[in-house]
Structure 1
Amino acid sequence: MYRNILIATDGSSLAARAVEHGTNLAKALGATVLLLTVTERFHLFAIESDQLEETPSSFREHMQRQADHTLEEAAEIARNLGVEARTLHMEDDAPYRAIIRTAEDNVCDVIVMASHGRGGVSALLLGSETMKVLHHSNIPVLVVR
C-alpha cells in the first residue's frame, strides 16, 4: 500500500508521536521513510520574537541547529524502531508548500504529520500547516492526534 512515507516534524512532542506512528507504519509495511523539517526564512520585519534580535546569518545558524536537533531526535525514534530513515531540512516561508513539494518530488505515497505543531503567533494568524497540507495535497495525509 504505502512504500514511501514522508513524515513531517517540527520537533514538538506531538510531532514526535507522529514520527513514532509513521515509523511504526513503515516498519509494518516495509516502507521507506523520509523525515522532513521545514524552517522559515529570516524576515527583516517579523512578529516572531526569535527573529527580532537576530541578524540574517545568526538566525540561519540558529534555525539550522534547531533543524539538526529536530531531525536527529526523529531519526533516533526511527532507529529505535529499527527503521532506516533519510532526513531533510527545507527552508520555506510556507512550510505546507515545502511538505507537499517534497512529498511529490520524492514520490511519497502518504504524508504523516501531527494534528498541530509549535504554533505561536504565526499559527494563529495563518492557520494550521496540517490543515493547509490537507487542503492542498493530492497525496493522502495521515494526521496523528
Structure 2
Amino acid sequence: MLKILIPTDGSEQALLAVHHALELVNNGLQASFVVANVQDTATLYEMMVAHDPSVLQAVNEGAGQDLMRPAVALLEAAGQAVEQDVATGDAAQMLVDIAERHGCDAIILSARGTGSLRAAVMGSVSHELLHSSPVPVTVVKAVEAAEVDQDEQDGQDGQDGQGD
C-alpha cells in the first residue's frame, strides 16, 4: 500500500489533488494519505506581539488544522486512512521533511498556475518539489475555463455529423 502526501492550503484549487488521488483509489490504487499544511514563519511583528514561541506554534497548528479540514473530510468520506501534519517554514523543504518523516512513497499536489515569470521570481512550491523531492511528485493542474469551453465546443463540432 502506498502512502501519499497531499499538501493543502485550504483552497478549492488544492482540493484538485485530493480529487485526483481519489480517482486513483477508485481505479484500484491502494493507498493511505498524509494531508499537510505548511505555515509561513512568523513575522518580526508577530514575534514581538506574541512574546512566546509556543503561542505562535499553537496559532500555526490551529490555522493549519483548519486549512486541512476540507481535504481530510473528502478523504475520510471516501473511507481512506488519513494522517495530518502541520509545519512552519519554507513550504517545499518542510514538505520534503514531512514526506520523509511519514515514509511517504509519493506526493500529489495542485499547481497554482501562476505562470513562468512569477514562478521564476517568487519560486514555486510545486516546481521546487519536483527538483528536491526524494519521491515521485504528481502535479495536478486545473483546466482553464477557456480550455473547457473550447473542448466542449470541439466535442459538439465533432458530433454534428458535418465533418471538417
Q: What's the TM-score once normalised by structure 2's chain length?
A: 0.69
1:48 alignment partner in structure 2: none
Question: Which residue of the other structure, out of 104, 107, 114, is the alignment partner of 2:100?
Answer: 104
Aligned length: 133
In structure 2, distance between residues paired with 1:24 and 1:81: 11
1:16 alignment partner in structure 2: 15
User: What's the offset of the Cα at 1:24?
Assistant: 3.6
Provide the secondary structure at the position in 2 that maps to 1:112: strand
In structure 2, runs of 5+ residues without a counterpart are 142-164
User: What's the offset of the Cα at 1:71?
Assistant: 1.6
Identical amino acids, percent of aligned pairs: 26
2:30 alignment partner in structure 1: 30
Aligned amino acid, residue 111 of structure 1: I
Aligned amino acid, residue 55 of structure 1: V
- Alpha carbons of structure 1 residues 62 and 105: separation in structure 2 relative to 1, 3 Å: closer
User: What's the offset of the Cα at 1:62?
Assistant: 4.8
In structure 1, distance between residues paired with 2:113 and 2:94: 16
1:66 alignment partner in structure 2: 63
Q: Is the 8 A contact 1:14 1:117 kept in 2?
A: no
In structure 1, distance between residues paired with 2:84 and 2:127: 23
In structure 2, distance between residues paired with 1:127 and 1:35: 22
In structure 1, runs of 5+ residues without a counterpart are 46-50
- Alpha carbons of structure 1 residues 21 and 3: separation in structure 2 relative to 1, 3 Å: same
Question: Which residue of the other structure, out of 118, 125, 130, is the alignment partner of 2:126?
Answer: 130
Structure with bigger RCO (C-alpha 8 Å, 6+ apart):
1
- Alpha carbons of structure 1 residues 55 and 20: separation in structure 2 relative to 1, 3 Å: farther
Q: Is the 8 A contact 2:60 2:88 kept in 1?
A: no
User: What's the offset of the Cα at 1:73?
Assistant: 1.2
Which runs of 4 or more aligned residues in structure 1 lie more than 4 Å from their structure 2 counterparts after TM superposition?
A: 57-62, 122-125
Structure number with greater Rg is: 2
Q: Is the 8 A contact 2:8 2:35 kept in 1?
A: yes
